[in-house]
Chain A
């Protein structure tokens, strides 16, 4: 009987522990959904971008089309991006290299923008990974307080974070543009 009770207790514990972890995770991780418009040399592709931003600035996300078909997943941490699970036609090293560069550029700005907005709303200073990231965050926060959003340009890429939350990034070298339109948070 004692063994039986031990087994029941063990099963109960196994059942409840992950639920608690999920609950905590939901409180700390912010998820964002964007409608994505991608223009490649005159051709337009639309989709949905979903991402989770963790308190340390780490981002995990996915790009799917409206039917739910995945294009690729991505992860971002401390300025580095990985493109994973790319679907057949996109699963080529040269495609992934361009996407990796573009998304590193976009996500850096999205992460900083979100962190700054969160700080403004809560009055708390969000935790970031290292000193360099913290410096970028401070800079982004200063940008938030200005009436105009300053466009960023880096090599062949430029980004504009508009006051309405739309993010438009252009890769001038390959003629690709990405527009992220917030759906809900």
Chain B
């Protein structure tokens, strides 16, 4: 085999691997999968899990990692609490948001802040995957990750996050924001689902600047008993 033939073979192999790793679903398949996800999401009335957030910055060589716990209760109650390396709590209860850090406490009315409203909506929808039907906010594309395939790396404009713990097979949705407020910040949001499409396993947010934030949910307990006091905004 000549050098030319070998290079060509290598090129073909790389191209076919890339297209194989991300199988975009047809409109009909997408509709079916979204229905399935939505059905599973509507069955979740409450949820509790741990999360790991990794931020990869284009400018710095180091990743920023934080950990915490999350509590969710339908329809719009959320406690997102960072426990390491800093303490920071975000509580959403209807239109009210309570932010608490080691140095300050703040109460915000979501209705008065358009950008905040959009971001809380993204967070809530990303937890259950229910946002996939919202076509006024996002253009949604669904992809299949074939079994035994490494997690797609080319989807991100920057270096991919190392050792992604998300399911080796399953589906992921790419959400392209339509609203100006979200477009100012994010290029695309990717939501990864487990194989049975019942739970979101990871959310990857690719910013306009090329930075990538990935949130991995672990120890997910759907329909867990969650104390109402956890959502107290006072």
Contacts and interface: CB of A to CB of B under 8 A. Distances in A.
A33 B62 CA distance: 11
A3 B64 contact: no
Interface in B108-138: 115, 119
Nearest to A74: B59
10 contacts: A22-B61, A35-B86, A44-B104, A46-B104, A50-B60, A61-B60, A64-B64, A66-B101, A69-B213, A73-B209
Interface in A1-60: 3-4, 7, 22, 25-26, 29, 31, 33, 35, 37, 44, 46, 48, 50-52, 60
A70 B207 contact: yes
Interface of A: 3-4, 7, 22, 25-26, 29, 31, 33, 35, 37, 44, 46, 48, 50-52, 60-62, 64, 66-70, 73, 85, 87-89, 179, 181, 183-184
Contacts of B6: 3-4, 7
- Give the interface SS of chain A, mostly helix, strand, loop or mixed: strand
Contacts of B185: 69, 87-88
Contacts of A22: 61
B19 interface: no
B163 interface: no
Nearest to B183: A88
**Size bin of chain B's contact surface:** 35 or more
Contacts of B50: none
A90 B90 CA distance: 23
A67 B2 CA distance: 52
Nearest to B212: A68
Enumerate the 10 nearest inter-chain pairs by beta-carbon distance, A residue then B residue, closest first: A88-B184, A68-B213, A66-B88, A68-B55, A85-B209, A44-B104, A3-B3, A46-B101, A37-B103, A73-B59
Contact of B102 (A31, A35, A52, A61): A35
A61 to B, nearest CB: 7
A76 to B, nearest CB: 12
Given A35-B86, A66-B88, A68-B55, A50 B3 contact: no
Given A64-B55, A70-B209, A183 B85 contact: yes
Nearest to A183: B85
A155 B86 CA distance: 34
Contact of B88 (A44, A46, A50): A46
Given A31-B62, A48-B64, A73-B209, A67 B90 contact: yes
Best-surrounded residue of B7, B59, B64, B82 (most CB of chain A within 10 A): B59
